[in-house]
């Protein structure tokens, strides 16, 4: 399994606690959604990377869910004896996801829809249904926050299957391992890491999704940077972990759910300068570098990898204390190794502290099993 995971106790950090929000995991231009099936349907889907076979019907409505814990609630963590014993993570285009939402008809009537009979006819004739339900925690307890699921059939299901789906993987083993940890009262168990999915303005209006989820302090940071292309040392130092400021948690909430290319790069450069003693009088910890590096990793460009590597090799303590897996967040496992091998001389020349042994370490010491199964996005502990 190569999905980003997070310890459950860190999952809610930065997430809104009530209201209509679409939570999910983005993968470049795609989004993950989940479904649960019996063995026959799941085996066919994994083998062919699409749905079909004798047991699958394109006329019957099937429901996709971008929220992992909502899927766990519906499937009982793959333990319900109702043909939901296999959990599939389906990577589909975000464009297709938004298209389904735009075509969908809400399953619950509201007076704002106008004539109820017309709404009911639209619902009955639609190949896409949208339903909002209470989100749930790992125990299945209802939350005030609401989660979305999308029902599709006929032509919409054919389009989903043949056009929107990019990959399908079986995550049942991961699900059962986490359920076993929960049942055994283990302190650590993991869920899929999720952020707020920022859909277009028309969909926000259609589904009463708030336009933004940011605090006054975060808005002040964003405004300051927009106007001056900088952040004052005073405001920057409120983001650092040693200060124990609530503003840091507010900012974690922002970077967990949003992307800001210019600001993210500026903040990591400033954090590296703080770490090296070139700026400010307040200490910048490895945890801080990890937070800013995660923000940068969302940009997925070579400059972002180079900045994260510069944070990793800033000094001896960052080499030891900065979680190495963060280096792979920008390009993924193989993409990172390919980039380092192709650009080793450039990296040695341009990044102070990067040497041959650094390149060898990242190319040779990390494999898929360690990166995706053993460490489980350990860097998120600091967030």
For the purposes of burial, counting CB atoms within 10 Å of the CB of 244, is it exposed (0-12), middle (13-18) or buried (19 or more)?
exposed
Least confident of 81-95, 320-334, 339-353, 366-380: 366-380
User: Which residues are CB-contacts of 247 (< 8 A; sequence separation ≥ 6)?
Assistant: 217, 238, 239
> In percent, how much of the chain has pLDDT > 70?
96
Q: At what angle do helices 356-364 and 333-342 cross, to 10 degrees?
A: 150
Q: What confidence tens digit (pLDDT) does each residue in 13-49 have?
A: 778 888 999 999 998 899 999 999 999 999 999 999 9
Cα-based distances in Å from 86 to 58, 59, 148, 176, 195: 19, 21, 21, 10, 24
Average pLDDT over residues 287-295: 93
Contacts of 80 (CB under 8 A, 6+ apart): none
Q: 188 to each of 178, 180, 195, how far by Cα in Å?
A: 9, 11, 20
Q: What is the pLDDT of residue 135?
A: 95
**pLDDT interval class at 383 (50, 70, 90):** low
Strand, coil or helix: 333: helix
Which residues, other chains included, contact 252 with Cβ-Cβ below 8 Å and sequence gap of 6+? 13, 14, 291, 383
pLDDT of 374:
47
H/E stretch holding 257: helix 246-257
Looking at the predicted structure, is the pLDDT value of residue 110 above 90? no
Task: Give the three-class secondary structure for 109.
Answer: coil
Q: Is the pLDDT of residue 356 over 50?
A: yes
Helix count (H) and strand count (E) of the chain?
Answer: 19, 13
Report whether pLDDT(278) > 70.
yes
Give the mean pLDDT of 178-193.
90
Region of 78 (left: φ > 0; alpha: ψ -120 to 50; beta: rest) is: left
Q: 113 and 105 in contact (C-beta within 8 Å)?
A: no
Segment 343-361 shows an average pLDDT of: 94
Q: Measured between alpha carbons, how far is 57 from 63 in angstroms, rounded to an integer?
A: 13
pTM of the complete model: 0.77
pLDDT value, residue 159: 97
Torsion of CA 204, 252, 35, 182, to 10 degrees: -140
Q: How far apart are CA 65 and CA 281, in angstroms?
A: 47
Q: What are phi and psi of 36, to 5 degrees?
A: -125, 135
Residue 230's pLDDT is: 97
- Give the residue ranges of DSSP H helices in 76-171: 94-103, 116-125, 154-159
User: How confident is the model at residue 165, as a pLDDT?
Assistant: 97
Enumerate residues 6+ apart whose C-beta is below 8 A from 215. 250, 253, 254
Query: What's the pLDDT band for 242 if we cut at 50, 70, 90?
Result: confident
Between these two residues, 1 and 222, which has the higher pLDDT value? Answer: 222
């Amino acid at each position: 399994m190569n999905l980003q995971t997070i310890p459950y106790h860190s999952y809610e950090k930065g997430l809104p606690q009530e209201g209509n929000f679409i939570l999910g995991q983005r993968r470049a231009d795609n989004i993950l959604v989940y479904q649960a099936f019996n063995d026959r349907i799941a085996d066919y889907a994994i083998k062919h990377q699409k749905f079909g076979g004798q047991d699958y019907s394109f006329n019957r409505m099937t429901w996709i869910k971008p929220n992992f814990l909502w899927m766990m609630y519906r499937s009982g963590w793959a333990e319900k004896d109702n043909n939901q014993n296999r959990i599939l993570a389906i990577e589909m285009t975000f464009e297709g996801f938004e298209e389904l939402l735009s075509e969908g008809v809400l399953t619950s009537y509201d007076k704002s829809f106008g004539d109820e009979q017309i709404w009911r006819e639209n619902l009955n004739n639609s190949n896409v249904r949208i339903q909002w339900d209470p989100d749930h925690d790992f125990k299945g307890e209802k939350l005030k926050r609401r989660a979305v699921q999308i029902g599709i059939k006929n032509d919409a299901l054919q389009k989903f299957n043949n056009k929107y789906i990019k990959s399908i993987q079986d995550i049942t083993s991961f699900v059962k391992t986490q359920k076993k940890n929960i049942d055994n009262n283990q302190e650590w168990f993991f869920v899929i890491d999720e952020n707020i999915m920022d859909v277009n303005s028309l969909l926000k209006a259609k589904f009463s999704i708030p336009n933004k989820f940011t605090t006054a302090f975060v808005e002040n940071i964003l405004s300051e940077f927009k106007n001056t292309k900088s952040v004052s040392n005073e405001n920057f130092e409120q983001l650092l972990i040693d200060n124990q400021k609530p503003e840091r948690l507010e900012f974690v909430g922002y970077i967990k759910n949003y992307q800001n290319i210019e600001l993210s790069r500026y903040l990591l450069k400033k954090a590296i300068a703080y770490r090296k003693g070139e700026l400010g009088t307040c200490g910048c910890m490895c945890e801080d570098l990890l937070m800013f590096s995660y923000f940068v990793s969302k940009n997925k460009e070579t400059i972002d990898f180079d900045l994260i590597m510069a944070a990793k090799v800033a000094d001896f303590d960052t080499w030891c204390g900065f979680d190495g897996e963060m280096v792979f967040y920008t390009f993924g496992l193989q993409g990172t190794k390919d980039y380092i091998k192709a650009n080793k001389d450039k990296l040695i020349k341009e990044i102070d502290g990067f040497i041959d042994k650094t390149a060898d370490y990242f190319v040779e010491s990390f494999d898929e099993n360690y990166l995706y199964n053993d460490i489980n996005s350990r860097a998120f502990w600091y967030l």
